[in-house]
Amino acid sequence: MSIPEFDTWARCVDWLEGELSGQDVSTWIRPLSVKRLPDRLLVTAPNRMVMERVRADFVLSIQRAWLACDGADLPVEVSTATEARSLSGAGSSPTSGPIEPERWTQNGKLDPRYTFDSFIQGKSNSQARAACQHVAESPGVAYNPLLIYGASGLGKTHLMHAIGNALLARSARARVVYVGAEQWVNQFVAALRHNNTEEFKSFYRSADALLIDDIHFFAGKAVNQEEFFHTFNTLMDGRKQIVLTCDRFPKELDRLDDRLKSRFSWGLTVSVEPPDLETRVAILLAKAEQFHLSLSTEVAFFVAQHIRSNVRELEGSLLRLAAGVRLQGETISIEFARHSLRDMLAHYERLVTIDNIMGTVSKYYNIQMKELRSPRRNRSLARPRQIAMSLARELTQHSLPEIGAAFEKDHTTVLHACRTIAKLREEDQRVREDYENLLRQLSF
């Protein structure tokens, strides 16, 4: 869009906000771009589905908006961006027009940030890293194919990209092809449909190095396994390097052709394990430097002790800390980290219901749950009941009548309970402690 078109379109969108719902404007109008031609308004949608929806429901509104903002009454023509690439790989329905074939020449790019230098080595991944480095130095010689396996988020893809980047650094003209297995499958299906499997085959079989991520996705897809088997053989015969990743030991993959499994074992299979505490600390410190974030070893240890599952989560926690620091300008103390990372710790958002409040409170005071609902008013029951009602008020979004009903009481009883407990928490240390203990048990 040129600048005047751009300004007019901005005013049109404002105008349409008065006509359409906020949801429709956000979903169907904002992603459009507009070009004014002498005799019509050319509106470009990101994909066919948006195009069809806009054609069906919004063309007249857009025409009116343009008339109101620019004074020109122009017919509106809606099309899709021809450069729009298919992400779903599912293609469009055959009735909705010509289908763009998947273009395998535009596979996922190698991420230049994933190098051996930026990979933090620890006990859990040193063997995998050494093998990858060896492959990057002498591709197609030993360790072919190289298969890296391990759970998601432990650095398999990082190592694979590092090999690709190192190969390109050695020879910029090397044909390094990187593709996700699921993408390969979609591309192959599209190639079959469009009768250009020859092109597909020659593209993959002429690679100098073929890097395929997540081959567990081949499981159960016999035709693809067959095609991959032949590609594999061609590349191996030509002494081209193959690198694969998988989320488990390949022999354990169900519905994968035994011929493939046996070929994978020709080369080297290495695993990446979840990082140990020291490695997690090293990863945090290295990433903090990368994000220009000042992080003490003490805080890094604190974070590493709490975020244990995978490397990606460590990165997320660091970004969360960075956001907090940028916005609040505090230095990162353990207290600050504890507060910021509440959102990261999965236990936090446990859904609290009146039922589990009643269960927790009755266990805490060693009484039966049904006694919380009973009409008896002696203090040993009344106090826990009042505390449970106050907790329900604080931790759930139920109304007083709803809370009352759960305890088989009137809503005024709940209101009275909340007031009593609020007062007692000020005055009576025992009540305060009980309440806070219960609050902790219920919300963390």
Partner 1 sequence: MKGEQIPLSVQLRSSASFDTYYAGPNQAAVNALRESSRGGLFLYGAAGSGKTHLLQAAVREAAPGVRAGYLPLRELVQRGAEAVDGYAGYPMLCIDDLDAIADDTQWNHTLIRLLDRLRTEGARWCVSAAAAPERLGGLLPDLRTRLSALPLFALRALGDDDRHQWLRRSAHQRGLELPDDAARWLLNHLPRDTGNLLAAIEELDRASLRDKRRLTLAFVQRTLGLRPQ
- The binder of partner 1 chosen from 42, 59, 67, 151 (CB under 8 A): 151
CA gap 19, 17 in Å, rounded = 5
Q: List, in sequence order, every beta strand (DSSP E) within 114-185.
A: 146-149, 176-180
Q: Which amino acid is at 225?
A: Q
- Contact with partner 1 (CB under 8 A) among 172, 237, 327, 366: 327
Q: Order of strands, edge to edge, in the sheet holding 176-180?
A: 176-180, 209-213, 241-246, 146-149, 268-271
Q: Binding residue for partner 1 (CB under 8 A) from 169, 222, 277, 323? A: 323
Q: Which window, 82-90, 130-138, 169-177, 257-265, contacts partner 1 (CB under 8 A)?
A: 82-90
Site string for partner 1, 380-419 (x = CB under 8 A): -----------------xxxxxx--------x---x----
Candidates 322, 332, 387, 391; binder of partner 1 (CB under 8 A) is: 322
- The answer to the question of residue 183 lying near partner 1 (CB under 8 A) is yes
C-alpha–C-alpha distance, residues 111 and 371, integer Å = 62
331 is known to lie in a ligand binding site: no
Select the residue interacting with partner 1 from 343, 408, 433, 436 (CB under 8 A).
Answer: 343
Applying CB under 8 A, does 319 fall inside the site for partner 1?
yes
- Determine if residue 238 is labeled as part of a ligand binding site: no
HEC profile of 55-109: HHHCHHHHHHHHHHHHCCCCCEEEEECCCCCCCCCCCCCHHHCCCCCCCHHHCCC
Asked if 9 is part of the footprint of partner 1 (rule: CB under 8 A), the reply reads yes
Single-letter residue type at 310 = N
Binders in 105-134 for partner 1, by CB under 8 A: 108-109, 111
* Binding status of residue 101 toward partner 1 by CB under 8 A: no
Side-chain half-sphere CA neighbours of 434 within 13 A: 24
- Which CB, 17 or 371, lies closer to partner 1? 17
Q: Please count the CA atoms within 13 angstroms of the CA of 195 that sit on its side-chain side.
A: 0
Q: Looking at beta carbons only, is 266 or 291 nearer to partner 1?
A: 291
Q: Indicate which single residue of 49, 130, 142, 223 sits in contact with partner 1 (rule: CB under 8 A).
A: 49
Given candidates 41, 45, 147, 160, which one binds partner 1 under the rule CB under 8 A?
45
Build a one-symbol-per-residue string for 295-314: x at contacts with partner 1 by CB under 8 A, - elsewhere.
Answer: --------------xx-xx-
3-state helix, strand, coil in the chain (%, to 5): 60, 10, 35
Round to whole Å and give the CA distance between 322 and 161: 26
Q: What is the CA radius of gyration of the chain?
A: 31
By C-beta, is 206 or 420 nearer to partner 1? 420
Q: Is 155 annotated as a binding residue?
A: yes
Closer CB to partner 1, 25 or 41, in the complex: 25
Nearer to partner 1, 130 or 345 (CB): 345
Build a one-symbol-per-residue string for 191-220: x at contacts with partner 1 by CB under 8 A, - elsewhere.
-----------------------x------
Q: Token pair for residue 120?
A: 């933090």
Quick one: angle between helices 429-443 and 411-427, nearest 10? 110
Q: Please tell me whether residue 84 binds partner 1 under the rule CB under 8 A.
A: yes
| One of 30, 230, 239, 259 touching partner 1 (CB under 8 A) | 30
Under the criterion CB under 8 A, does residue 346 sit at the interface with partner 1? yes
d(CA 424, CA 428): 5
Instruction: Report the C-alpha gap between 171 and 239 in whole angstroms.
Output: 17
- Is 373 an interacting residue with respect to partner 1 (CB under 8 A)? no
Indicate whether 326 belongs to the interface with partner 1 (CB under 8 A).
yes
Quick check: 274 binds partner 1 (CB under 8 A)? Answer: no
Which residues have CB under 8 Å from 433's CB, separation 6+? none
Round to whole Å and give the CA distance between 302 and 294.
Answer: 15
- 355, 382, 356: which is closest to 367 by C-alpha? 382
> Which residue of 35, 193, 320, 425 would you call a contact of partner 1, by CB under 8 A?
320
Which span (40-48, 128-136, 225-233, 356-364) binds partner 1, by CB under 8 A?
A: 40-48
Binding residues for partner 1, rule CB under 8 A, total 71
State the binding site for ATP.
Answer: 153, 155-157
